[in-house]
Amino acid sequence: MTHFGFPLFPDRASSLAGRVDALFYFDLAVSIFFSALIAGLLIFFFVKYRRRSQDEVGSRVEGSLALEIAWIAVPLVIAMIAFAWGAEVFFELSRPPAGATEYYAVGKQWMWKFQHPEGNREIDELHVPIGRPIRMTMTSEDVIHSFFVPAFRVKQDVLPGRYFSVGFEATKPGVYHLFCAEYCGAGHSRMTGRVVALGPHDYEAWLAGGLPAQSMRGEGEEIFAALACASCHRDEPGTRGPSLAGLFGRRVQLQGGRTALADETYLRESILNPAAKVVSGYPAIMPTYQGQIHEEELVELIHYIKALPARAAVPGPPAAERAAARLSPGAGATGSGGANP
Ligand code: CUA
């Protein structure tokens, strides 16, 4: 939206943009209405109750229950509307649909590194297809950054050591600003880039133009093999570590009675700091992989582990397998799922 050549509002280029704007306009309208009301009443009362003679004494004002209830209830209702509406938009942003295509971003001083599921990598530039829900899973390898695409109305802080997800769906082909929206050091203002939204055919053509030898999952599988993860995490009973098959998204029983959700952050912690969360029934023998794996490799490895399918229904009760795993000497733990999916 441009007024007199001055861009007042960024493009609306995602499915969420209109909804964010509607909420913004609602809050703006409420603010304008009450500002005008208060300013107007102030002026009105200045005039109405001005002092008319030197010795005039004001009349005593008693409370008004109805008035007090009104000025508590009306703002409460308006605030609750804004809250519920805002929460709904926030959940839509932060909970991408299950079938969304996964992209990954790693922020660092001072650049954004992206990876597509097909394996394509980009720096400070992100190509996305329009009309397809996308889940951006992001982290930082040093300090706090913030992924901000105004045209999509998407902004998400990224902190080192954790993963953050936002969902969006680009709706309009074009080239849009990408900013870092969190002061992150001397190069913060240069930590910008662009998001290129392409129609499905253009996107496929773009992808094919730079298609790497390996998909992201393939890269992850190679790292899985190179670090010999399978030597302890084979998907069979009696291995030293818990199986990773179908682990992602499940609740894991930990030592000491706690449970943890096996999400990206959990997998990451279990790789870098295995002692933090040890799976119940397994001794804490897994070594740390801190320093042996880069942030981007971690993302690939986790992408691979996430996609490991749950084992086809195994005959026999899962409890028997867990018992078998416990009986075997030494069972390592990435702090991952139980002995079975
Ligand atoms: Cu990264 Cu500011």
Structure-token pair, residue 199: 């129609």
**What's the 184 CA to ligand 1 centre distance in angstroms?**
4
And the tokens for 229? 């993860």
- Would you state the pLDDT for residue 223? 79
What pLDDT does residue 54 have? 85
pLDDT of residue 327: 45
Is the CB of residue 166 below 6 angstroms from any atom belonging to ligand 1? Answer: no
Claim to verify: residue 92 and residue 12 sit in the same structural domain: yes
Any domain includes 103: yes
CA of 137 to the centre of ligand 1 (A): 17
Query: Is any ligand 1 atom within 6 A of the Cβ of residue 188?
Result: yes
Q: What is the pLDDT, as a whole number, of residue 36? A: 97
Q: Alpha helices, DSSP H only, in 253-317?
A: 264-272, 295-307
| Residues 129 and 198: beta-carbon distance below 8 Å | yes
Domain for residue 59, yes or no? Answer: no
Say yes or no: 197 and 75 in one domain: yes
Q: Are residues 193 and 224 in the same domain?
A: no
Each of the 341 residues of the chain gets a pLDDT tens digit; together they read 445 566 777 888 898 999 999 999 999 999 999 999 999 999 999 999 888 888 888 788 888 899 999 999 999 999 999 999 999 999 988 888 888 888 999 999 999 999 888 888 889 999 999 999 999 999 998 999 999 999 999 999 999 888 898 999 999 999 999 999 999 999 999 999 999 999 999 998 888 887 777 788 888 888 787 777 777 777 777 777 777 877 888 888 888 888 888 888 888 888 888 877 888 777 777 878 777 778 888 888 888 888 877 765 444 444 444 444 444 444 444 444 444 43
Closest by CA to 135, choosing from 113, 115, 119, is 115
CB 236 within 8 A of CB 313: no
- Any atom of ligand 1 within 6 Å of the Cβ of 191: yes
Which of 147, 181, 212 is where one domain is finished?
212
- 224 and 182 belong to one structural domain: no
Please state whether the predicted TM-score (pTM) of the whole model is above 0.75: no
Residue 242: inside a domain? yes
The domain boundary residue, chosen from 212, 227, 245: 212
Co-location of 157 and 251 in the same domain? no
What is the pLDDT at residue 4? 58
**Residue bearing the CA closest to ligand 1, atom 1:** 145
Residue 57 lies in a domain: no
61 part of a folded domain: no
Rounded CA gap, 157 and 143, in Å? 10
Same domain, yes or no, for 188 and 224?
no
Token look-up 């929460």 returns 87
Residue 163 and residue 19 share a domain: yes
- Amino acid 5: pLDDT: 62
Main-chain phi, psi angles of 44, to 5 degrees: -60, -45
Nearest ligand 1 atom to alpha carbon 185 = 2
Same structural domain, 97 and 244:
no
Final residue in a domain of this structure, among 166, 182, 212: 212
Q: Domain count of the chain? A: 2
Tell me, yes or no, whether 48 lies in a domain: no
- Whether 184 is in the pocket of ligand 1, judged by its Cβ within 6 Å, is yes
Ligand 1 midpoint to CA 220 (Å): 27
CATH number at residue 182: 2.60.40.420
- Residue 230 located in a structural domain: yes
Are residues 189 and 86 part of one domain? Answer: yes
Cα–Cα distance measured from residue 223 to residue 293, given in angstroms and rounded to the nearest whole number: 9
Which CA distances in Å does 309 have to 50, 158, 243?
78, 28, 11
| CB 180 near ligand 1, within 6 Å | yes
Q: Is 225 exposed, middle or buried (0-12, 13-18, 19+ CB in 10 A)?
A: exposed
Residues 315, 172, single domain; the answer is no
Range of the domain at 152: 7-41+66-212
Closest C-alpha among 293, 248, 283 to residue 274: 283
- Tokens standing for 165? 């997800």
| For the CA of 191, the nearest atom of ligand 1 | 1
Based on the fold, state whether residues 36 and 109 are members of the same structural domain: yes
Co-location of 100 and 229 in the same domain: no
Residue 329 lies in a domain: no
Q: Which two tokens stand for residue 118?
A: 């097909």
140 C-alpha to ligand 1 centroid (Å): 10
Give me the CATH number covering residue 296: 1.10.760.10
